[in-house]
């Protein structure tokens, strides 16, 4: 009755979800993007139980998404996004933009993501063709590879 794992599927979606396909993993990453690095920061901001936070941080470190950094000369550890972790920003922003469009926020979206150079909101994310045109799901096809 062992909890089903997706790690042996030959599919990038399945295997990625096996790593970050849960609420807390993604919420930890969300706060990491906001700048949180300390155990206590994640814990108090998220309201997650400490044993669960500990397990999730360990898991994210094991999978190369966070790096545990013990400051030189001792001190409390910090958890920093690796380059692989940073590249997950597309996932989080896709989630955020979907939520902005489809969830009734009492007073409009609570956070804007803006271009630091111009202060303007970033564009809605989209899948684009090689030449840059926006594609709908009907304009694309999932094509299994022959091996």
Partner DNA sequence: TCTTTTCAGTTTCTTAAAGAAACCAATCAT
Partner DNA sequence: ATGATTGGTTTCTTTAAGAAACTGAAAAGA
Footprint of DNA on residues 60-89 (CB under 7 A)?
Answer: 68, 71, 74-78
Interaction between residue 75 and a second copy (CB under 8 A): no
Q: Which contiguous run of DSSP H or E holds residue 40? A: helix 39-46
Contact call for residue 55 and a second copy (CB under 8 A): no
* Entry field: residues in the chain: 147
Binds 61, which of DNA, a second copy, none (CB < 5 to 8 A, cut-off by type)?
none
Q: What are phi and psi of 107, to 5 degrees?
A: -120, 40
User: In whole angstroms, what is the distance from residue 50 CA to residue 102 CA?
Assistant: 32
**Chain centroid offset of residue 74 CA:** 29
**Residue from 19, 26, 48, 93 that binds DNA (CB under 7 A)?**
48
Residues that bind DNA (CB under 7 A): 1-4, 22, 24, 38-41, 48-52, 54-55, 57-58, 68, 71, 74-78
């Amino acid at each position: 009755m062992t909890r089903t794992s997706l790690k042996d599927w030959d599919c990038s979606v399945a295997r990625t979800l096996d790593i970050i396909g849960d609420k807390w993993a993604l919420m930890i990453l969300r706060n990491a993007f906001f700048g949180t690095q300390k155990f206590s920061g994640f814990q108090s901001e998220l309201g997650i139980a400490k044993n669960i936070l500990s397990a999730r941080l360990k898991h994210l470190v094991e999978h190369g998404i966070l790096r545990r950094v013990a400051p030189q000369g001792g001190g409390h550890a910090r958890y920093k996004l690796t380059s692989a972790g940073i590249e997950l920003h597309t996932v989080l922003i896709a989630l955020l933009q979907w939520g902005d469009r489809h969830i009734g926020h009492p007073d409009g979206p609570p956070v804007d993501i803006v271009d630091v150079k111009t202060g303007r909101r970033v564009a809605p994310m989209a899948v684009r063709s090689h030449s840059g045109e926006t594609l709908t799901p009907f304009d694309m096809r999932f094509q299994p590879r022959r091996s």
